[in-house]
Amino acid sequence: MKRGAPLARRTPLERRQWLRAEGWLPRQSAPGELSATSQTARRQPAGWHRKDTIPPKVRRLVSARDPWCLRCGSPRDLEQHHRRLKQAGGDPRPHTDCCCNLIRLCTGCHAWVHGHRAGAEAHGWRLPAETITPGSDGVMRNSDDGGVTSWPSCGGKWLDEAPADGEAA
C-alpha cells in the first residue's frame, strides 16, 4: 500500500487563521467594532450562543485579578466562569455579573467544573443556585500546589478572610 505525502502541519496560529478564512470562526474585529458572530452562530445548534452580559469594566477587573486559571494555573485559553451559574433564562439577581461571582478558568478546567458539580462546589469554583452573595463563599486557588482559600470582592480584589455575614464583599 502506497502512502501519500504527509499532511502539512499547522501551528495553532495558522489553524486559527484557516478556520477564520473558512468561516468557522468569527473574523477579528477592529478596535471599537462589534465582533461578527453571525457567521458562526448559524452553524451552531439552536440556543448554543448566549448574550454576553458581563460589563467590560468587570471583565477587565477579573482579567487583571486572575491572570491564570484558578484550578490548574495555565495562562492560556482563559474563559470567564460564573460561580453561581446563570441558568438558561439568565439570572436577574444582584451580583450575577459582579467580580465576586466571576473567576477565570482555562477551557479544559471550565468544562470540568461544569461536569463535576460536587468537586467544583467543594473548592468554591461553583456555587449552589440559592447562594445570595457569592463573595461570602471562598475559592480554592491553585489547588495543585496545595492552594489557598481566598474570597473574591465586588471591587475585583482577593480578600484573605471572609467578609462579615450578610455583607457583600
Classify the C-alpha dihedral 167-106-71-62 as positive or negative.
negative
Domain residue ranges of the chain, discontinuous segments joined by +: 12-41, 56-159
Length of the chain: 169
Proportion of the chain above pLDDT 70, given as a percent: 71
145 has a pLDDT exceeding 70: no
38 has a pLDDT exceeding 50: no
- Nearest alpha carbon to residue 154 among 143, 163, 141, 145: 163
- Nearest alpha carbon to residue 66 among 77, 78, 56: 78
Q: pLDDT band for position 25 (50/70/90)? A: low
Residues 6+ apart with CB under 8 A from 28: 20, 35
pLDDT tens profile 56-108:
999 999 999 999 999 888 899 999 999 998 876 677 888 888 999 999 999 99
Looking at mean pLDDT, say which of 42-51, 59-68, 93-102, 127-136 comes out highest: 59-68
The predicted pLDDT at position 67 comes to 92
Q: 151: how many CB neighbours lie within 10 A of its CB?
A: 20
Mean pLDDT for the chain?
78
Distance of CA 59 to the CA centre of its chain: 10
The predicted pLDDT at position 64 comes to 94
Task: Considering only residues 43 and 153, tell me which one the structure prediction assigns the higher pLDDT.
Answer: 153
Q: pLDDT band for position 39 (50/70/90)? A: very low
The predicted pLDDT at position 9 comes to 73
Average pLDDT estimate for 94-123: 91
